[in-house]
């Protein structure tokens, strides 16, 4: 018999404050799995109407699945968080889009009827596990010229994107980066960032124990003039700098996804309704263009147009990558719909965790903006991919003809 698919909703999302990777970062002596465990525990605390035994799956992403973020981290994190032993879990990897994929994969299971409620998220401790640690790329990638050598270095792929689109100048990238820092600082001052955060205990051999309560990477004093003087580590006289790209960071995210009818049964408000999603492959050498075809595909699938989208949360792996997306869809660099609370250039990008950060921020914006019906979360993905997810605002309340 044909089965009806169920609507899927995003219930709630949280994250740790993001830290700077390295020996001086706030999480230098904190375990990666403890970061995501803290997020899961906070989700359960914030949502008491969802009994822990109603959670059917825990999907946690990590790009470097070794050490303290290995060992099937979805299952181990579920056990460490105190969920019933009957709750299964698994690890997932789609590089930067790990948490995004954790959400779409569990959401598909919910729509199919395999699950009612799931936890999805991601963690990356780039201080403990630098990107690519332990990786052994097959030599055929280069010997058979399957990819250009630059495809394996994300900063070089961003330089390639500047090459392909010369109108995306370093000056534009620096201006976008400075604006990201300013928007984040304003949102933090307005209390719009803190609502997502869970405090995280930290320890240091020299400084003792502490409590992480705020993001470590932002630089609110950033100016375009200051950015113009930074070194270009990926190419002499290049355009990618530490100022117009996301940093190396540590952090974790987690969210609750549920069937809409189950959320209603449990009297749990939905923050967003899933409309559609798409992942695509692109040339690895210019992986930053990935969100463009991914968004075009999901718009076709859902019958929507880019004009229907009233809020964008685009991952700022590199400023040039976001600018390429905006130019393609005819959106101004300073469009108020785009990353209104700043993005990864300011707050950081702990690889596999970032997709849920985008979703959580979009959900908070939906609550503030009942005039916006559809929102989009999108990101580029290493080795040449892109992901895009469209969400609907459940509190949308505008008369026909006034839709954002």
Banded pLDDT at 397 (limits 50, 70, 90): confident
Taking the domains of the chain in order of start, what are their residue ranges? 8-127+246-392
pLDDT tens per residue across span 140-168: 999 999 999 999 899 999 999 999 999 99
Tell me how far apart the alpha carbons of residues 36 and 14 are, in angstroms, rounded to a whole number: 10
* E strand or H helix that includes residue 58: strand 55-61
Give 57's strand partners: 118
Nearest to 111 by CA among 261, 228, 270: 261
The whole-number pLDDT of residue 403 equals: 47
Tell me how far apart the alpha carbons of residues 106 and 114 are, in angstroms, rounded to a whole number: 9
- Candidate list 96, 128, 129, 162, residue with the active-site label: 96
Helix (H, G, I), strand (E, B) or coil at 155: helix
Helix (H, G, I), strand (E, B) or coil at 209: strand
Helices (H), 238-343: 260-265, 291-302, 319-328
Banded pLDDT at 399 (limits 50, 70, 90): low
The whole-number pLDDT of residue 404 equals: 47
The whole-number pLDDT of residue 318 equals: 98
pLDDT tens per residue across span 199-233: 999 999 988 999 999 999 999 999 999 999 999 99
List all residues 6 or more positions away from 243 whose beta carbon is below 8 Å from its beta carbon: 174, 177, 222, 226, 227, 230, 345
Whether 128 sits among the annotated catalytic residues: the reply is no
Whether 255 sits among the annotated catalytic residues: the reply is no
| pLDDT above 90 (res 401) | no
- Candidate list 125, 128, 162, 349, residue with the active-site label: 349
Whether 96 sits among the annotated catalytic residues: the reply is yes
Residues, the chain: 404
CATH architecture of the domain with residue range 8-127+246-392:
3-Layer(aba) Sandwich (3.40)
């Amino acid at each position: 018999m044909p089965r009806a698919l169920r609507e899927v909703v995003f219930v709630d999302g949280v994250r740790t404050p993001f830290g700077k990777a390295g020996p001086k970062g706030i999480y230098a002596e904190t375990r990666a799995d403890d970061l995501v465990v803290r997020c899961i525990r906070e989700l359960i605390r914030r949502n008491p109407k969802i009994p822990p035994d109603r959670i059917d799956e825990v999907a946690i992403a990590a790009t470097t699945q070794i050490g303290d973020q290995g060992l099937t981290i979805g299952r181990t994190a579920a056990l460490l968080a105190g969920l019933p032993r009957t709750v299964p879990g698994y690890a997932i990897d789609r590089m930067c889009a790990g948490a995004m994929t954790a959400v779409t994969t569990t959401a598909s299971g919910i729509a199919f009827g395999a699950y009612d409620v799931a936890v999805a998220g991601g963690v990356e401790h780039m201080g403990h596990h630098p990107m690519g640690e332990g990786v052994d790329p097959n030599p055929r990638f280069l010997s058979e010229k399957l990819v250009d050598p630059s495809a394996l270095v994300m900063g070089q792929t961003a330089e390639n994107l500047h090459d392909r689109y010369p109108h995306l100048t370093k000056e534009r990238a620096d201006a976008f980066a400075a604006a990201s820092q300013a928007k984040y600082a304003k949102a933090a001052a307005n209390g719009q960032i803190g609502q997502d955060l869970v405090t995280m205990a930290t320890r240091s051999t020299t400084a003792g124990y502490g409590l992480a309560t705020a993001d470590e990477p932002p630089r609110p004093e950033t100016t375009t003039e200051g950015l113009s003087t930074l070194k270009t580590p990926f190419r002499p006289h290049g355009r990618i700098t530490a100022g117009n790209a996301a940093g190396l960071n540590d952090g974790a995210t987690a969210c609750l996804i549920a069937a809409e009818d189950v959320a209603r049964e449990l009297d749990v408000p939905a923050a967003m309704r899933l409309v559609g999603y798409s992942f695509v492959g692109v040339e690895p050498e210019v992986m930053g263009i990935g969100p463009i075809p991914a968004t075009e595909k999901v718009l076709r699938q859902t019958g929507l147009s880019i004009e229907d989208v009233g809020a964008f949360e685009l991952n700022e792996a590199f400023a040039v990558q976001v600018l390429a997306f905006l130019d393609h869809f005819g959106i101004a660099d300073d469009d108020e719909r785009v990353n209104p609370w700043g993005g990864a250039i300011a707050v950081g990008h702990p690889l596999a965790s970032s997709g849920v950060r985008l979703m959580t921020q979009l959900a908070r914006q939906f609550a503030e903006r009942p005039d916006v019906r559809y929102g989009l979360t999108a990101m580029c993905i290493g080795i040449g991919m892109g992901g895009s997810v469209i969400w609907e605002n459940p509190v949308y309340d505008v008369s026909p003809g006034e839709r954002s």
